[in-house]
Structure 1
Amino acid sequence: MSATADPAEDRSNPARRLGLEPGQVVQELGYDEDVDHDLRESVEDLTGAELVDEDYDDVADVVLMWFREDTEDGDLTDALVDAQEYLVEGGVVWLLTPKTGRDGHVEASDIADAAQTAGLSQTSTAAVSKDWSAVRLTTKAAKAAPKR
């Protein structure tokens, strides 16, 4: 956090709530019309770069994955396994799913089961959007990795 950052701004900026930092490469998976565009914009503003997509041919610091149940998004476990191939060692997957009562909502128990099967640990959640819930998933290396 910058010495000049306003603490109120930090709390209201969803990208900061995700723990993102300037200069990080954020890869976005599962983009569709229903994503939260304000969240995407805040990520780009904070990191200073556009989000990269699934065609990006290098590794990312963070994967931002939009996932909806019972859609063409497929199987959550498979999607989480695939997302890890894009990450630097110690990287983080932020899984974004529709909130309870919205189309495509994913049950917390299904997220926990899929994450465990994919070799990830659920470490926290963040309020980032009116319509989307965010769950932070890490590899064992990420949990043990020192903060930059």
Structure 2
Amino acid sequence: MSFHEKSTAAMLAGIIIVYSWYFSKMRAVASTTHVEEGVVAIATIASLLAITVAMLVAIAIVAHIAIAIYEQTTTGDVDDTMDERDQLIELKSEHRSSTVLSVGVLAVLTLMLMNYSMFWTANALLGALVLSSITKCAFKLYYYRFKG
């Protein structure tokens, strides 16, 4: 496994874990709090989103340090340069994830036209972004393993 493949696997796991926690918290908040009011929705989303981003950054830092240490001890060098194969995999994966993001944004626009609250549309938009990131990481791993 290359450094980039390990990095992608770590980020995929981190994104799934952190945003599963976030969306489960949002679901619990929605069932116990009146989130239809704009101020409550913004305060709720902002505080949990800040924690979520901090957790994801911490996971990314720890994972990349661990990967670098592992690479250094096993191969004697940390090769994080992107060759042509890495760049092609990045482009193909980005293409797939942009399709998912486009569909997600259209779904959110539909929710807005149907007069859903700010709480639900903001979380749906975040869900589209997260699903797009998961798609990109999953396709990168697929291309590294089977198409590279």
TM-score after normalising by structure 2: 0.22
Higher relative helix content: 2
Larger radius of gyration: 2
Higher relative strand content: 1
